[in-house]
Amino acid sequence: DAMVIQNPRYQVTQFGKPVTLSCSQTLNHNVMYWYQQKSSQAPKLLFHYYDKDFNNEADTPDNFQSRRPNTSFCFLDIRSPGLGDAAMYLCATSRGANTYNEQFFGPGTRLTVL
Amino acid sequence: DAKTTQPPSMDCAEGRAANLPCNHSTISGNEYVYWYRQIHSQGPQYIIHGLKNNETNEMASLIITEDRKSSTLILPHATLRDTAVYYCIVPIEYDGGTSYGKLTFGQGTILTVHP
């Protein structure tokens, strides 16, 4: 089945130690999104790629970066994780960057910062 | 983007229809209404979306009022596995001239299906 895969499902890092989360997709979708979901809150968009074009949300901290080396893979880099960055990180894809294509989400990576 | 209003929680008996309302009174003519749900500790799951007409798929039905200011998601025969947070979203169409279908999640409706 075509799907969105996130690895690892659980990640533990230390305060200030860089961490990378990965997302891959077999849907061949053009757009990939990264969301952050803190405990008991709704998901919040951090940024997205349309093909290789990167689009950052205005309120996404500089501590968060992303890379998309090819259509299938997208990475979320947190350069210096703080305690406030502990959250579920969700990757999603869609066929097009418009309002008539639904988004398909992965299972998420739960990040713990010690 | 059109904001949506949903009740914070609802209950439903297993086997009965669950009707989840959503108000989106500021929706514009070309904006779609989407429903996603999120089961505990999982990623959100797309359910259904519509523009003007009612829609039905294998998961649910979406009823949109004629003036498009509100909609109702119907799960015809709710099961315990339908217990989740249900999000009604009107994706932003344009932001600074770029259309990218941004989803802005509200707090959603916590649907609890009980035996």
B11-50 pLDDT, tens digit per residue, is 999 999 999 999 999 888 788 999 999 999 899 999 999 9
Chain B residues touching residue A25 (CB < 8 angstroms): none
Q: Which of B103, B107, B109, B110 to probe the A interface (max A CBs under 10 A)?
A: B103
B45-79: string of b/e by CB count within 10 Å (b at 16+)?
ebbbbbeeeebeeeebbbbbeeebebbbbbbeebe
Residue A49 near chain B (CB below 8 Å): no
Say if strands A104-105 and A10-13 run parallel, antiparallel, or are unpaired. Answer: unpaired
More confident residue, A79 or B3: A79
- Which of A44, A94, A104 is facing B101, going by the closest CB pair? A94
Contact call for B46 and A103, based on CB within 8 A = yes
Query: Three-state SS for A75?
Result: strand
On the question of pLDDT at B1 being above 60, the answer is no
Look at the block and give the residue holding tokens 């968009």. Answer: A45
Percentage of residues in chain B with pLDDT exceeding 90?
77
Q: Smallest CA–CA separation between B48 and chain A, in Å?
A: 8
For residues A1 and A31, give the distance between their C-alpha atoms in angstroms, rounded to a whole number.
Answer: 19
What pLDDT shows up at residue A26?
95
CA distances (Å), A11 to each of A42, A108, A109, A110, B108, in order? Answer: 20, 11, 7, 6, 27
- Provide the pLDDT for residue A90: 98
Which among A42, A50, A104 has CB closest to B106?
Answer: A42
CB burial string A29-68: b at 16+ within 10 A, e below? bbbbbbbbbeeeebbbbbbbbbeeeebeeeebeeebbbeb
Task: Find the CB nearest A99 among B32, B36, B87.
Answer: B32
Distance CA B53, CA B68 (A): 9
- Contact (CB, 8 A) for A43 and B105: yes
Predicted confidence band at B103 (pLDDT cuts at 50, 70, 90)? confident
* Residue in B49, B93, B107 nearest the CB of A102: B49
Tell me whether residues A55 and B93 touch, CB distance under 8 A: no
Stated as kind and residue range, the H or E segment containing B110 is strand B109-114
